[in-house]
Chain A
Amino acid sequence: MSFVLNEEEQMLRDSARSFLSETASVAALRKLRDENNPEGFSRDLWASMGEMGWCGILVEEAFGGVDMGVSAAGFILQEMGKELTSSPFLSTSVLAATALRVAGTEAQKSAWLPKIAEGKAVIGFAVDERARHNPDAINTVAAKDGNGLRLNGTKRFVANGAGADVLIVVAKTEDGAPCLVMVDPKADGVSATPRRTLDSQVPADFTFKDVKLDGDALMNGAQDTGKAIAHVLDVGRACLAAESLGVAERAFDITIDYIKGREQFGVPIASFQGLQHRSAHLLSEIELARSIVLKALRTLDETPSQAPIWAAAAKAKATAVSRLATSEGIQMHGGVGMTDEYDIGLYYKRAQAAGEFLGDDAWGAGQVAKLSGY
């Protein structure tokens, strides 16, 4: 396992860096927010990402993707975290694409993977049913109903759910076995409520009331659907951890620049040991997060059977570090850190939201304890 990026990965990262800083930066997020964009992201941007091949980063070439692996997806999200880019990349190109890949039927793959790769589909991945992440407590039921299924239950805060073309819903069968179903959000019995979150995203809550599904809505392409769901979530966690890492890195850079420029008592405040030690400690924490995120991404690509503990640990560490970096960022900015004008507050909000999604640091610690056998 290599802890350095290969040439192809470096090129991808560099092109993501220049593209995002030009077209999907913090300024773009502010614009979406101030215009009250109903979806919270730009469809034009999404189409551009499709043209560049990012949307199909986890899609096999046979379905029009570039199939570069989880690490590559993570590197893109890390850059997105730096710019606070708003897009359906995580929900669609990471979670949905992985779910289709590991659990989809041939028909489902043919129908959706090419569209994902082209940036022409937005797919919501619906897992959580309560305020805190808990994929072991699913109460949504997809019960047998003639040749098809009948879906009942609720899902909360489904990312990019408001304008999604289709939903992938984590449910259980009438026997309690985990299953995945694809649901048209416009179908009878589906009701969606968009929610606006502090980081200017627009996820949606869903209620499924006796929703009739055809038999081919069931994603039964995996030998063990429960394991497949766990894998999809681990891929999502590692990628989201990469985004949180990017949030931490940029928040740190902004803060260091600020304290180098801000003068009090006739000198830059960066010359005070009180701030120097906090800065050096923060860098140490960011270095830890960089390593464990990279380890989790690489493990998912190379030895996925060992990935669960690394994905949980990386998610926990990146969550904690991004929250620390951004809250320290506000403190070190002083009063202006509390204003909407300065960007550091936007990073603080994103760190909170990205940290919560798919399990925060406390959740990750619980997983690590469980997987370590204590």
Chain B
Amino acid sequence: MHNGQTSIELIFPSILGYEVVARRVVATFADFVGFDQARIDDLKTAVGEACINAIEHGNQLQPDLPVYITSSYDGHRFAVDVSDTGTNPLAIIKEPKTIEEKLAGAASLRGMGMMLMAALADEFIVEPSAAPGNTVRLIWYQREVAHT
């Protein structure tokens, strides 16, 4: 169990499959600082989705464009920032399509990533990066916080 301020950084190319590497690294870090397995499972899924968004939508599958991950822990708050370097802004889906709409052919079968991230993290924020690109910030607390 790690109680002080600590962080890791990771950079990977915009190639599908690298999200698996990233989520494993972040999950190992979360385990290192003492998160329980259920929260690590949530974290792995959400981080994987953030990375796929960065690769596919932010960086448009251009392998030479990097995805940056910074993950930090301060003894209470575990944050993961996933930043792309593309110029394509991520679309914020306020009301994701339901499975009924997908089954009826009224919506793409894809497009559940944002909903999963919002549901699995305690806090979920999408914002433009200082440099070109987008940052998805996912936050978990050691103790459950009420969703508002």
The answer to whether A and B assemble together is no
